[in-house]
Amino acid sequence: MKKHSGAKKTELNELPRIGDRVTFIYIEHAKINRQDSAITVLDSKGIVRIPASMVGVLLLGPGTDVSHRAIELIGDTGTSMVWVGERGVRHYAHGRALAHSSRLLERQANLVSNTRSRLSVARKMYQMRFPNEDVSNLTMQQLRGREGARVREVYRKQSKLHNVEWTKREYNPDDFEAGTPVNQALSAGHVSLYGLVYSIIVALGMSPGLGFVHTGHDLSFVYDIADLYKADLTIPIAFEIAGESLPDEDIGRKTRLRVRDAFVDGKIMKTIVKDLQYLMDVEAEEEMFIDVINLWDDKEELVKHGVNYEEVPQ
Bridge partners, 57 (sequence order): 24, 80
pLDDT in tens, 19-78: 556 667 888 889 999 987 788 999 888 898 888 777 777 888 888 898 988 888 877 776
Average pLDDT score, the chain: 79
214 is in an annotated binding site: yes
Amino acid symbol at 154? V
Give the DSSP H/E element, type plus range, for residue 47: strand 46-51
pLDDT in tens, 94-145: 655 555 567 888 899 999 999 999 999 999 999 999 988 898 889 999 999 9
What is the reported pLDDT for 110? 95
pLDDT in tens, 197-254: 887 888 788 899 999 999 999 889 999 999 999 999 999 999 999 999 887 888 988 9
Q: When comparing pLDDT for 92 and 221, which is higher? A: 221
CATH topology of domain 103-279: Four Helix Bundle (Hemerythrin (Met), subunit A) (1.20.120)
- Which range (172-176, 184-188, 300-304) has the least confidence? 300-304
Sign of the CA dihedral running 213, 214, 216, 220: negative
CA distances (Å), origin 279, targets 104, 121, 128, 154: 11, 6, 10, 24
What is the reported pLDDT for 36? 79
State the architecture of 12-94 in CATH terms.
Ribosomal Protein L15; Chain: K; domain 2 (3.100)
What's the pTM?
A: 0.68
The DSSP call for residue 21 is S
305 is in an annotated binding site: no
Q: How far apart are CA 195 and CA 201, in angstroms?
A: 10
Phi, psi angles (nearest 5°) of residue 274 = -60, -40
Helix then strand count (H, E) for the chain reads: 9, 10
Each as own residue / partner, the long-range contacts of residues 118-122 (CB below 8 Å, 24 or more positions apart, any chain) are: 118/212, 121/212, 121/279, 121/280, 122/212, 122/213
Contacts of 285 (CB under 8 A, 6+ apart): none
Q: How many CB atoms lie within 10 A of CB 284?
A: 9
Looking only at the bridges linking them, the beta strands covering 80-84 and 91-94 are antiparallel
What is the reported pLDDT for 93? 62
Domain ranges of the chain: 12-94, 103-279
Sign of the CA dihedral running 165, 250, 268, 60: positive
Averaged pLDDT, 168-177:
77
- Residue 16: pLDDT above 60? no
- Residue 291: pLDDT above 80? no
- Residue 88: pLDDT above 50? yes
pLDDT in tens, 251-267: 988 998 898 888 876 57
190 is in an annotated binding site: no
Confidence of residue 296 (pLDDT cuts 50, 70, 90): low
Short-list 71, 95, 75, CA closest to 83: 95
Q: What is the 3-state secondary structure (H, E, C) of 138-196?
A: CCHHHHHHHHHHHHHHHHHHHHHHHCCCCCCCCCCCCCHHHCCHHHHHHHHHHHHHHHH
- Which range (10-14, 118-122, 225-229, 278-282) has the least confidence? 10-14
